[in-house]
Amino acid sequence: MSAHATHHDEHHHAPGFIRKYVFSTDHKMIGIQYGITAMLFLAFGFYLMMVMRWSIAFPHQPLPEWMSWCFSDGWKARWLQDGKVTGETYNMFGAMHGTIMVFLGIVPLGFGAFGNYVTPLQIGAPDMAFPRLNMASYWVYLAGGLVMCASFFMESGAAKSGWTNYSPLAGFADGQIVNQWLAGQTQWLIGLVLLITSSLLGSVNFITTIINLRARGLTWMRMPFLVWAMLVTAFLLLLAFPPLEAAGIMQLMDRVAHSSFFMPSGLFTKTEGLADLSGGGSPLLFQHLFWFLGHPEVYVLLLPAFACVAEIIPVNTRKPLWGYKSMVYSVLLLGFLSFIVWAHHMYMTGMGAAVSTFFQTTTVLISIPSVVIITAMLISLWGGSIRFTPPMLWACAFIPMFGIGGLTGLPLAFNLADLHLHDTYYVIGHFHYVVAPGILFGLFGGVLHWYPKITGRYMSSWLNHLHFWPSLICMNIIFFPMLLQGMAGFHRRWYNGGDAYLDKATAATGDGGNVFANTVAQHIDMNILMSMGAWTLALAQIPFIINLFISWKTGRKVESDNPWNATTLEWATPTPPGHGNFTFEPAVYRGPYEYSRPDSEQDFIPQWEKPRQSSPAETKPSVH
Amino acid sequence: MEIPYIVTPRKDTGLFNSKIAIWLFLASEVMLFGGFFSAYVFLRLGADFPWPERTLPVLPGLINTFVLIGSSVTVVFAWASLKMGKWRHFQIYMGITIACAALFMVLKAIEYNVKFHHQAVRLTDYTVVEGHLGYEKENGEYVLNHHGSEVEENQIRIESGGLTFSTVRYHKPWVEEILSQAAHRNAEIKLAADVTARTSEGGNQDTLIAKAGEPLSLELLATIQKAHLKARAHNGALRTASLREEWKKTKAENPGKRGWQLASDVNIDVKALEEAGKLLTEISTVSFTVTPPVRLDFRPRDVREGETQSRLRDDTVIDGKLLPSPMGFHYVDAIDFRHLAMKAVNKGLDPIAAVENSWLIQNHTFAREAWEWNKAQVAKLEADLLKDHGVNEETGKPNREPTAKERYRIDWKDFVAMSDGVNRGEGKIALKEEFMGPDYKGREAKETFPMHFDLPREQVRFASKFTPAWNTYYALYFTITGLHGLHVIGGALVLAYYLFFGRKMFNSNPEWLANRVEVGGLFWHFVDLVWIFVFPIFYLM
Amino acid sequence: MANTAEEIQKSIRTYLIVGAALFVGTILTVAVATVPALDIGHHGFDMWDAILGLAIAATKATLVAAVFMHLNHEKKAVYWIFGSGIIFVIVLFGLTAFAKNDPIHDPLFYGRMSTTPAPLATPTLR
């Protein structure tokens, strides 16, 4: 970096409101934009789920006013039957819940928001390598999200074939719409292509920034774990998404050009008769291309949460991250392995035994690096002087919750067990444990951890307790019964929660009844418990929202630029960091987690602090 | 604060930012095209129809390959000229590159255009017929439709006496189309009966929304739609409220019981609502009469036809007799029995006999003649191959045999050879025909191709132009080359920007411009690299 | 890499030679596909034609990548980046092809069954 560049800040004329807050090229503002947008989408996805949970728990009762007030009577007349959620509406909400949570909520929050805000700060860069590309990435993401959600208000409704959008089901859905460009299923694909474009721009930017804009002395093994995680995440997005983009384009062609990429020969439906298509395509091809992204996508969701927790733990235990190097190698291995496990989502498609065995093996293998990382985090707690600051609460809850999510995945990896569990609530329970109390808790921790840097104020600890404890309890109330129901055989797509089977149960028939129906009758009341949990969870988020906005103005002010006494570079910036981030030229003299060194009076030595005398661990900054 | 390493490379990585970025982008592009190519492998290996191998004219693809390779050489020269500080040379080389890109796209457009006008049809017995559709004629004159254009002979014709539109789903352009077709044939479309409805709560008198005999118009449909939607929304809210009330009551009467145990007993009291005059009238369909009944034409894809009643995709129901709606070929330029033969073999039938029993050969002399000619050609080829390559000693089978294409497909070049009275492959074909396909006008004069072939609708299994819809091969061809074409256009735009707006930067910071051109060039080479695979895969395999 | 004017002057010759090689390769690939005398394997298109055609294409692609795109002398980071793309595209190809042609899925995997094909009957096909 040219030395004179640091002194030229004052020569920049102050950008206007639009340039500063709307079309900003500053990575920090873009990060905040990503964060707020993603949280809005998360809230919307959550709302869709609340409606679905009503349908599951009380399929015969009209949606109550407190959930349906936001729709117009016209919309309700189209999509609800006498106020009850119909199967079609449930499918639509289900598909969009998945899509929104994964593509519009968590990825932008984890990768877009934290990646954008924290990564350049942690590597001592003035901004991302391509600020305008960064801005484009955000706006393309927003456009994609809005296109997808706008379809709720069209005659066709939004996409309704699951977030996986399998053909030929997805190929037929909305087929009655004459202008296919105005069908929800088509809009979903267009939105998806936009989102992939956005993440392509983002990931190119991230990787370039991490490779080329690291501060002087910040060698690869001195990079904080967060930066490593973001690097791997960016590679996953860069290389795993394009095959899905290809699949999306092909499915789009199937819709608008009537091609048959994914439509097999001889398709016949009750309403349409023999499909007017050439046939000869392969539905399995779509599944391959989808899951080639789909599985790495799981790690795209997960790694930013790992990253946040890995940053929170050392700060709050005043102790170096245990096994930093093995964590780094694990995350790299995790990234690699995530590309060769995808077909474990497809055991039931009739793949051959050799392929199933291969994917079963790699799937079991991938649990090793995940367990290494989670174990390293757990051991990092051992013997530390733990401060239960607000972010630390979330980090501590993350570990066991993610543990349950991860371990319940193992039976699904074995294709023998998967034959029984496939497409049951067990699967839903498994991945929601990973994503909701796992990943989201990690990200909540991240919000609380960096909030003082972003705003100069702490978030309220009291409101945080009001948010944390009910959330923790509700999450388990919702998801643990799912595992039980799943093992009993509850299918994940019942819009009425299994109600349709009850008239075959003992209670209805008077004799022994149907075995499966009896099982359903035994477990069906859990639906109500879970739904109550879900709605309570919604209430539990209110303190967080209040906290997020109130603390911006009224929170306790930070005492210094480094309020947690942390060691990584983002805490060397002014609070909040100005345009260009650093007031001095950052240089790095040591590893990222130098806490409680016996040779130091302070219990932490920041990466940027010049060594008093050189010791083997504290070398001069040198160009790697 | 400025972002470093835009112009000069960082020491330890040796790279400037945009070079890292372009390589990352290219890695991503590799995955994108990789996705498409693996789709190609997957679909080709799994194809349940004969893959149309070596089906495109090679010449346009070959020329395009040369064009693209040439542009790859010139773009690297353009970069080298910049590095050596020669602006003039840069301009020339970059200009050639962009001209090549334009030429490439023009050739591509010609190729596409030829296919978009070329019709194919798969008969119910899997015979495939290719050619050009004719236009409807009456007394030797082309019939003009209400747009003043000729009518392609691929319409579903219905003698329509009545139309019933769905009030929420009717598709505006189709209504307009029906209106103008009817007007063109001097028929009137009028409302069949009075549309009356209760439009406000409590009123006992129904309001007249539209009177019988009112002519069909978009405004009329919109009015009725509005009334319908209003009633639907109103009734929905009312019924919901009533159901809620019922649930409340039932739950209070049956404490401790689960919802699913009560569900069958809880119903909306519709009678009470009706007696109170609260429900409004929903008008979900509206019927019109066509007087006098006239022929209306619909595109085959838009309509599910029936003998007396047909339905459009927007739920419009057409009452009336289905008229004969054949597909009229002006020229037939290929007959293909490969799919039929494949199906026959799969069923354990003799493919030759199956071909000879096919509807086309049984009913049309031209097909029978062509088939006989083809059989003689195949026999000759078999004998030639046997003579040249002999027999496998172990199996006793000939070493080389005619391909399925040679056995079962008679394409336009074969028709040329047939009409020239020579053997397959020896017919006289002009260079322009190698490029653009047959010169139909000239061939018509020489009577090369079978002409005026009417295919009854009930023989059609699936029909399409040579578009992505025809089969997965063409779907892949258009999608991959289309995407590649978009890359060509994008790359050319970027390079053109450097050419036309680079002068200023060349004067102020030539190194930066050279970097940019290098990055743009890398992308351009990648586009070339993709084509290097696209060409053999689609044109030669 | 070639960065000075003299070095670039030298490499221009290489570019020309590679360009010519690409032209020749293109003609070759068309020739083996269209001239019957050069047809390898069976008569008409078959696996060997595919392998040969793709081999020629791969050679041409390698030339473009190595010389025009300067991959013959690039920085380590570029190899890592582009290499990862190539590796994962091979993974995508290999594993989907594997899934399509699973040996254990194949009824002949445990040995060829001795079945004689059914005799050909005379046909009507609807």
pLDDT per residue of chain B (541 residues) written in tens, 0 to 9: 689 999 999 999 999 999 999 999 999 999 999 999 999 999 999 899 999 989 999 999 999 999 999 999 999 999 999 999 999 999 999 999 999 999 999 999 999 999 999 999 999 999 999 999 999 888 888 888 888 888 899 999 999 999 999 999 999 999 999 999 999 999 999 999 999 999 888 767 788 999 999 999 999 999 999 999 999 999 999 999 999 999 999 999 999 888 888 888 899 988 888 888 889 999 999 999 999 999 999 999 999 999 999 999 999 999 999 999 999 999 999 999 999 999 999 999 999 999 999 999 999 999 999 999 999 999 999 999 999 888 888 888 888 889 999 999 999 999 999 999 999 989 999 988 888 888 888 888 888 899 899 999 999 999 999 999 999 999 999 999 999 999 999 999 999 999 999 999 999 999 999 999 999 999 999 999 999 999 999 999 9
Nearest to C102 among A239, A339, A352 (CB): A352
pLDDT value at residue C121: 52
- A297's CB contacts (< 8 A; 6+ apart) are A102, A107, A236, A240
- Using the predicted structure, report yes or no on whether residue A8 has a pLDDT greater than 50: no
Place of tokens 């010519």: C20
Q: What is the DSSP letter of C65?
A: I
Cβ–Cβ under 8 Å, residues B29 and C65: no
- Indicate yes or no: CB of C93 within 8 angstroms of CB of B38: yes
Place of tokens 């340039």: A19
- Indicate yes or no: CB of B35 within 8 angstroms of CB of A2: no
- Indicate yes or no: CB of C88 within 8 angstroms of CB of A211: no
A37-66 average pLDDT score:
96
Place of tokens 């919109």: B222
Q: Quick one: which H or E segment has residue A114?
A: none
What is the rounded distance in angstroms from the CA atom of residue A321 to the CA atom of residue A592? 9
- Indicate yes or no: CB of A355 within 8 angstroms of CB of C98: yes
Segment 211-250 of chain B within 8 Å of chain C by CB: none
pLDDT value at residue C43: 84
- Indicate yes or no: CB of B478 within 8 angstroms of CB of A257: yes
Tokens of A297: 């996508």
Tell me which of C126 and A195 has the higher pLDDT. Answer: A195
Instruction: Note whether B31 contacts C: Cβ–Cβ < 8 A.
Output: yes
Nearest to B403 among C19, C44, C68 (CB): C44
pLDDT value at residue A7: 43
Tokens of A465: 């307790």
From its phi and psi, is residue A229 left (phi > 0), alpha (psi between -120 and 50) or beta? alpha
pLDDT value at residue C1: 45
Place of tokens 């630390």: A392
For the four alpha carbons of B292, B293, B299 and B302, in that order, the dihedral sign comes to positive
Question: Rg of chain A over CA atoms, in angstroms?
Answer: 25
- Domain segments of chain A: what residues? 26-263+277-572
Contacts of B348 in chain C (CB under 8 A): 117-121
Q: How far apart are the first and last CA of chain A?
A: 15
Instruction: Note whether B465 contacts A: Cβ–Cβ < 8 A.
Output: no
**CATH number belonging to the domain at A26-263+277-572, selected among 1.20.1600.10, 1.20.210.10, 2.40.160.40, 3.30.200.20:** 1.20.210.10
pLDDT value at residue B269: 86
- Using the predicted structure, report yes or no on whether residue A9 has a pLDDT greater than 50: no
- Indicate yes or no: CB of B13 within 8 angstroms of CB of C75: yes
Cβ–Cβ under 8 Å, residues B166 and B314: yes
Place A614 in a pLDDT band, splitting at 50, 70 and 90: low
Place C125 in a pLDDT band, splitting at 50, 70 and 90: very low
Contacts of A578 in chain B (CB under 8 A): none
Cβ–Cβ under 8 Å, residues B339 and B348: no
Question: Rg of chain B over CA atoms, in angstroms?
Answer: 33
What is the rounded distance in angstroms from the CA atom of residue A147 to the CA atom of residue A140? 10
Residue B51's nearest CA partner among B59, B42, B60 is B42
Backbone φ and ψ of B506, nearest 5°: -60, -35
pLDDT value at residue B270: 87
Segment 80-139 of chain B within 8 Å of chain A by CB: 122
Cβ–Cβ under 8 Å, residues A189 and A248: yes
Cβ–Cβ under 8 Å, residues A141 and A112: yes
DSSP labels, B16-43: -HHHHHHHHHHHHHHHHHHHHHHHHHHH
**List of E strands, B254-408:** 285-298, 303-304, 309-312, 317-322, 327-336
Cβ–Cβ under 8 Å, residues A308 and A446: yes
- A272's CB contacts (< 8 A; 6+ apart) are A172, A175, B304
Q: Which amino acid is at B72?
A: S
**List of E strands, A157-280:** 268-269, 273-274
Residue A280's nearest CA partner among B215, B153, B39, B531 is B39
Q: Quick one: which H or E segment has residue B410?
A: strand B409-410
DSSP labels, A548-570: HHHHHHHSPBPSSS-TT---SGG
- Using the predicted structure, report yes or no on whether residue A59 has a pLDDT greater than 90: yes
Interface residues from chain A to C (CB-CB < 8 Å): 207, 211, 235, 239-240, 243, 284-285, 288, 292, 339-340, 342-343, 346, 351-355, 358
Residues in chain C: 126
Angle, helices A441-455 vs A461-488, to 10°: value is 160
Backbone φ and ψ of B100, nearest 5°: -60, -45
Residue in chain A lying closest to B311 (CA)? A272
- Domains along chain B? 17-118+469-540 (1.20.120.80), 156-324 (no CATH), 332-465 (no CATH)
pLDDT value at residue C115: 52
In A224-382, which ranges are continuous DSSP H helix?
225-256, 283-317, 324-337, 353-381
pLDDT value at residue C107: 58
Between CA B93 and CA B100, with CA B97 as vertex, the angle to 5 degrees is 135
Question: Rg of chain C over CA atoms, in angstroms?
Answer: 23
pLDDT tens per residue across span A500-551: 898 888 877 878 888 899 999 999 999 999 999 999 999 999 999 999 999 9
Contacts of A211 in chain C (CB under 8 A): 77
Cβ–Cβ under 8 Å, residues A57 and A120: no
CA distances from A322 to A232, A317, B210, B476 (A): 20, 11, 80, 51
What is the rounded distance in angstroms from the CA atom of residue A86 to the CA atom of residue A300? 33
Residue in chain A lying closest to B168 (CA)? A155
Q: B160: how many CB neighbours lie within 10 A of its CB?
A: 25
Contacts of A292 in chain C (CB under 8 A): 92
Place of tokens 């993709």: B530
Place A12 in a pLDDT band, splitting at 50, 70 and 90: low
From its phi and psi, is residue C119 left (phi > 0), alpha (psi between -120 and 50) or beta? beta
- Using the predicted structure, report yes or no on whether residue A620 has a pLDDT greater than 70: no
What is the rounded distance in angstroms from the CA atom of residue A44 to the CA atom of residue A26? 27
Half-sphere exposure of B49 (CA within 13 A, CB side): 23
- Using the predicted structure, report yes or no on whether residue A624 has a pLDDT greater than 50: no
- Using the predicted structure, report yes or no on whether residue A197 has a pLDDT greater than 90: yes
DSSP three-state, residue C53: helix
A409-422 average pLDDT score:
94
Contacts of B116 in chain A (CB under 8 A): none
DSSP labels, chain C: ---SHHHHHHHHHHHHHHHHHHHHHHHHHHHHHH-GGG--SSSSS-HHHHHHHHHHHHHHHHHIIIIIT-GGG--HHHHHHHHHHHHHHHHHHHHHHHHHT-GGGSTTTT-----PPPPPBP----
Contacts of C105 in chain A (CB under 8 A): 351-355
Tokens of C84: 């990862």
Place A250 in a pLDDT band, splitting at 50, 70 and 90: very high
What is the rounded distance in angstroms from the CA atom of residue A436 to the CA atom of residue A430? 10
Place A613 in a pLDDT band, splitting at 50, 70 and 90: low
pLDDT tens per residue across span C5-32: 778 888 899 999 999 999 999 999 999 9
Cβ–Cβ under 8 Å, residues B192 and B326: no
What is the rounded distance in angstroms from the CA atom of residue B55 to the CA atom of residue B540? 8
CA distances from A80 to A51, A84, A89, B9, B239 (A): 11, 5, 7, 61, 11
